[in-house]
């Protein structure tokens, strides 16, 4: 092998090694910051710098986690919230994608309805809570509806912006070759916006969880949102903090799965 290629190979291997070391360092630092935060929190409660009854602490949260887990209360309600979030996530993303396609497909429809979509996006969805309860009743249907309303609008706006920003020169090239609207969408616009769709899925993870928990605040007798409200009403702040941490963990897992899906899908389009 010529020397110039050997030098290139060594430099490439050195670059990969530095990148690997950096990634390890980032993860170690992240874990270290978390451990340090938990340690300071526990120490502050132990030394009574903070009121452990109000602020709780890691040891109390751990004991509460064991207590709620042994009775099955925590995981039953966690599953309810997860299921509601997943249903709202799928429906909201699907409806948002369809709405974005319709608005992109017809410029007249887009010009007419785009201002309404923007207004709906700026509207606090919690204000629609009483209306939703009256329309669909209490329980899971109201919660899923809230999750859908929060995710569908942001999906529509994000994907529509992606569709509109598709390379105009490539669209003109396809039109010059006689491609119709459907062919342009299938062959160019949809594949071009796969990264946009994946980014939108990552956003919708948080939006769907927000919608589900907001819905459980308003009308539910089960779920993590219900436990949060119940814990605050009876001043069981340890329960509130435990449910919050479990909620963060579930949202993080869901986000991680979407991130893995993004790597697989986007890699296939390169």
Please report the pLDDT score of residue 5 as a whole number.
Answer: 45
Between CA 58 and CA 70 the distance in angstroms is: 18
Please report the pLDDT score of residue 37 as a whole number.
Answer: 92
Between CA 253 and CA 98 the distance in angstroms is: 27
Please report the pLDDT score of residue 93 as a whole number.
Answer: 92
Between CA 258 and CA 151 the distance in angstroms is: 15
Model pTM? 0.83
Please report the pLDDT score of residue 270 as a whole number.
Answer: 54
3-state SS, one letter per residue, for 25-51: HHHHHHHHHHHHHHHHHHHHHHCCCCC
Between CA 200 and CA 17 the distance in angstroms is: 32
Q: What angle separates helix 140-164 from helix 129-136, to the nearest 10 degrees?
A: 120
Please report the pLDDT score of residue 96 as a whole number.
Answer: 92
Q: Which residues, given as ranges, of the chain have pLDDT below 70?
A: 1-8, 12, 267-270
Please report the pLDDT score of residue 83 as a whole number.
Answer: 92
Please report the pLDDT score of residue 175 as a whole number.
Answer: 83
């Amino acid at each position: 092998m010529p020397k110039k290629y050997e030098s290139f190979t060594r430099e490439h291997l050195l670059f990969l090694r530095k990148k690997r070391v950096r990634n390890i360092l980032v993860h170690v630092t992240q874990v270290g910051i978390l451990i340090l935060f938990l340690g300071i929190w526990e120490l502050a409660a132990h030394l009574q710098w903070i009121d452990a009854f109000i602020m709780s602490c890691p040891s109390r949260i751990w004991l509460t986690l064991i207590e709620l887990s042994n009775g099955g209360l925590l995981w039953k309600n966690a599953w309810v919230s997860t299921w509601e979030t997943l249903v709202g996530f799928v429906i909201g993303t699907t409806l948002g994608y369809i709405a974005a396609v319709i608005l992109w497909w017809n410029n007249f429809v887009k010009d007419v309805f785009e201002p309404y979509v923007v207004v709906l996006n700026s509207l606090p969805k919690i204000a629609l809570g009483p209306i939703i309860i009256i329309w669909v009743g209490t329980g899971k249907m109201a919660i899923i509806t809230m999750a859908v309303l929060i995710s569908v609008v942001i999906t529509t706006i994000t994907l529509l912006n992606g569709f509109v920003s598709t390379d105009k020169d490539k669209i003109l090239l396809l039109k010059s070759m006689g491609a119709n609207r459907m062919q342009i969408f299938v062959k160019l616009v949809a594949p071009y916006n796969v990264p946009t769709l994946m980014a939108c899925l990552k956003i919708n993870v948080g939006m769907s969880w927000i919608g589900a928990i907001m819905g459980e605040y308003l009308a539910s007798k089960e779920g993590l949102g219900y436990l949060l409200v119940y814990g605050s009403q009876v001043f069981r702040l340890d329960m509130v903090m435990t449910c919050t941490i479990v909620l963060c963990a579930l949202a993080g897992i869901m986000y991680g799965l979407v991130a893995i899906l993004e790597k697989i899908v986007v890699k296939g389009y390169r």
